[in-house]
Chain A
Amino acid sequence: MLAKRIQPMVFQARRLYVELMFQVMGRALQAVSEVDEKVQNEARALPDGFLFEMMVMPAGSKLIVEHTGQGRFRYHGDKAPRPVDLSIQFKHIAHAFLVLSFQEKTSVAFANDRMLVDGDISYAVRMTRVLNRLESFILPKLVAKRAVKEYPADLHLPEKLISAARIYLKVATNFVETVRA
């Protein structure tokens, strides 16, 4: 509680940002799964109706998507229709912020013990690859290189989807600069 009094604005803003970014990623996951073959191929190995959740511990923001079959994802907002099959949990909102503002790669965050996996590890590995692919779609090349291990050479996606996502990125970049200052 003490910390809240010291930096209320920063905390509030960070929480809002993480919430916003979860929404962006949820929608983008659904959109990308409709057009990108690589994401579809990864997703196809998941059972139909498979529910994936990303959340901030202990009971913070959430992102829930469902694999509806044929490699397609559906974004469910932050409400799961039934218990989830795989949950990736950030230990603290600060860690979620590091990853979602693309300051720390998803795989590095795993390596750094920033988050926990609850569920089948092989599905977590698969979802990490999907998230990597997604990040390279949303982000300009320079930032994406930081966010994913390797930048794929074969990204073809409708300009519209990319530009929409990049608007959020602008918000993100401004935000990171504000918070860092």
Chain B
Amino acid sequence: MTNKYYEFFCPVKVIAGKAALEHIPYELTGMAAKRPMIVTDKGVRAAGLLEPVIAACEESGLEITTIYDDVPPDSSTTVVRDIAGIYRQEKCDSIIAVGGGSAIDTGKAVNILVSEGGDDIAKYSGAGVLKHPLKPFFVVPTTAGTGSEVTSVAVITDEAKGVKLPFTSSFLLPNAAIIDPRMTLTLPPHITAATAMDAMTHATEAFTCMAKNPLSDAYATAAIKKISQSLLQVMDNPKDSDGRLELAQASTMAGIAFSNSMVGLVHALGHSTGAICHLPHGLCMSLYLPYALEYNLETIREPLGELLLYLEGPEVFAATPASRRAEASISAIRKLRDALYKRCQLPRTLKETGKVTEAQLDHIAEMALDDGSIMFNPKEVTLEDARAVLRRAWA
């Protein structure tokens, strides 16, 4: 399943490791930015994660001009407009998004408004609408999973119309992503587990779906190796900052992989389950991953078998006959899920979530067939197929 043609693009500067936050002032001045605005949410502020960011800037004589800390979990067009208003009023000249997927997406959308002008973000929805670079934009992820710091997409809800507006443009990519282990050190166990499984799914789908390519493959395999080696260690010892950094880097690498080669059935099912049953995205990923791989098995036998090396290491890989490696990869993922269930009760089936009813499965299946991710799944998924996968994932 090699591709004769591919594209790969990631212009985001990655600033990662110990004392990475202290590089922010240098990066800002390097772009002539003097009045940064922080966009974040209450949870991040309450966890005390803003202090090291602010301290790092102030120590270098760079004042944070203003802080917006009220980004909701599902950001809306109104929130984006309000933040853009504050940005203009305070005469800011750059944005630092600190948080998870929602804060980062909000930062991207605010950057469109403050760079392009106007109050109506819906006007810029769609692909390829933006034609110019935007204001200096930096992202400090506080979860290790979404990979939003390296994707060119943002999703914002239009509350009045009740629809989710997608924005796609390479200009949405931040100038730099700052990966500092301090930012994920206090993540609670079930969020650590779910977000890491989101990253694991990004890498696995990037490596096994239709748009895989040699460059994204390299990022995907490296990410899988890091997650396999570090996730359980971090679960057992949450203050392990080396392990935290490994997971954070893996998340960024998996993000680079999937933003260049897309995802498949796991995400299609996960998106619709999230919309219908309001389950967290990472949890859905962990839940569906083995079932979707089993469904795709015969089309992805070769790449999936290769992943065993990164999931289980060279000894297991060498000891497993080539013809059994794809199945062994799925078993490795199941094993990891069992271990996570033991440590934080991360559900492995729809029934275990306690938030999905059997009657909802048909609706989930129908909605998944309309999801953009399904286009890149290596096997063409029919409604019956989607239903069958859901039934297997039920219990």
Contacts and interface: CB of A to CB of B under 8 A. Distances in A.
Contacts of B379: 149-150
Interface string B73-88: 0000000000000000
A117 B127 contact: yes
A7 B149 CA distance: 45
B5 A121 contact: no
Contacts of B262: 111
A45 B366 CA distance: 11
B371 A112 contact: no
A125 B126 contact: no
Contact of A128 (B166, B209, B375): B375
B278 to A, nearest CB: 20
B210 A111 contact: yes
Contacts of A132: 380
B127 A116 contact: yes
B376 A118 contact: no
Contacts of B209: 111
Interface residues of A, number: 23
Interface in B84-136: 126-128
Interface in A9-65: 45
Contacts of B166: 121
A80 interface: no
Contact of B5 (A110, A112, A150): A112
Interface string B377-388: 011100000000
A38 to B, nearest CB: 10
Given A124-B372, A149-B380, A116 B128 contact: yes
A125 B380 contact: no
Interface in A78-130: 107-108, 110-114, 116-119, 121-122, 124-126, 128-129
B212 to A, nearest CB: 9
Given A112-B3, A112-B211, A117-B127, A125 B369 contact: yes
Given A108-B3, A112-B211, 15 more contacts: A107-B375, A107-B376, A108-B210, A110-B375, A111-B3, A111-B210, A112-B6, A113-B5, A113-B211, A118-B128, A119-B126, A121-B166, A125-B369, A125-B371, A126-B370
Interface of A: 45, 107-108, 110-114, 116-119, 121-122, 124-126, 128-129, 132, 148-150
